[in-house]
Amino acid sequence: MTTWKTIGQDHLVQALGKSLQQDRLSHAYLLVGPPQVGKMTLAMDLARAVNCLDEQKRPCGACRQCQRIEGGIHADVQVIGVETDGRTERLRAEITIDQVRALEQAATLKPYEGACRVFIIDGAERLNLYAANALLKTVEEPPPQVLLLLLTSNEEAIPLTLRSRCQRLGLRPLSLEAVAKLLIDEQGLSQERAQLLGRLSGGRLGWALAATSDSTVIEERTRQLQRLQEVVDGGLEVRFEYARELAAQYGRSRETARQVLGLWLQWWRDLLVLREGSRELVVNLDYLGADHDGALVRMSQQFQTVEMARFASELAATMERLEQNANPRIALDVLMLALPRAAVVAS
Ligand SMILES: [Zn+2]
């Protein structure tokens, strides 16, 4: 029966399949889950399902409607997210009210080629307050034949008035074993590679698949971890320079800077875990062995447990502060001041 492309979210697929059958689908859903866990895949499944021509199994994946949606050329399925500012050529921080107004207008029109107009708001936490309020009207009094799908990894950032009017669909990370198994069975990866990507993914299948097909994902991680080691080994000047770099990165793309800090957090968690002798819980498996000179093992011997724990919690607190719009340069300078000095270990 699996014509849904969504994997590992059986609880949702079953419930939605039932609603579809009974023609009792809600007109607005909030899809919640960590980045790259599969929210867009589920949204596209729903878009296909409500437009599919097959009477038995929707989405069938084979009919003209399903295929046009999958090809990204269906006129009634629209994805709305942050756009590039024409003047600065940077990605805007927010989804604007103009974008929502355009959506509202399109929502009043009859579907052009399908049965239902589907609007997917990717990164709904980026709706600014005006945009969220404007959208509220459409969610409260939806035109017929409209399905609104709000995707977010941070639901608390969406005004309660808006999110309480959507039906919530919570997507869960897959087990690390399930991701690894999928990578072996479906992508033909080696056991070792699949284990590594499974752990790095944190159960987010979309991330694991992206890292499988796009080598730059892992190359970028290697570059960032190299930089991390330089910063840990470096003096205050190197560390402040890094804070400046990362703050600038934050200005260009919050998401990228957030990912870098996520790597840092994962790394320090690994150091702690190693130090406590739980090697089997390490995420950055490839930094245990000769490939990267056992960098993880070496560094874990350079700090006291308490130093590592303190810095890891400082990292988490910094990430939290940045989410609450603290000044990135100051927050990152403070973080660098909290970075402990590595002890020289005789080898
Ligand atoms: Zn179909």
Tell me the pLDDT tens digit for each residue of 280-312. Answer: 999 999 999 888 889 999 999 999 999 999 999
Structure tokens at 61: 């994946």
For residue 77, how far is its CA from the centre of ligand 1 (angstroms)?
A: 14
CB 300 within 8 A of CB 288: no
Q: State the DSSP code for 169.
A: E
For residue 66, how far is its CA from the centre of ligand 1 (angstroms)?
A: 4
For residue 13, how far is its CA from the centre of ligand 1 (angstroms)?
A: 16
What element of type H or E holds 194? helix 191-201
Please state, in angstroms and rounded to a whole number, the distance separating the CA atoms of residues 187 and 202.
18
Q: What is the CA radius of gyration of the chain?
A: 23
Tens-digit pLDDT profile for residues 36-74: 999 999 999 999 999 999 988 899 999 999 999 999 999
Residue 106 has pLDDT above 70, yes or no: yes
For residue 202, how far is its CA from the centre of ligand 1 (angstroms)?
A: 32
Split at pLDDT 50, 70, 90, the class of 346 is low
For residue 29, how far is its CA from the centre of ligand 1 (angstroms)?
A: 21
Please state, in angstroms and rounded to a whole number, the distance separating the CA atoms of residues 14 and 63.
22
Residues ≥6 apart with Cβ < 8 Å to 175: 203
Which residue bears the tokens 């968690």? Answer: 269
Helix (H, G, I), strand (E, B) or coil at 48: helix
Neighbours of ion ligand 1 (CB under 5 A): 52, 54, 60, 63, 66
Split at pLDDT 50, 70, 90, the class of 345 is low
For residue 17, how far is its CA from the centre of ligand 1 (angstroms)?
A: 14
For residue 299, how far is its CA from the centre of ligand 1 (angstroms)?
A: 54
pLDDT at 259: 92
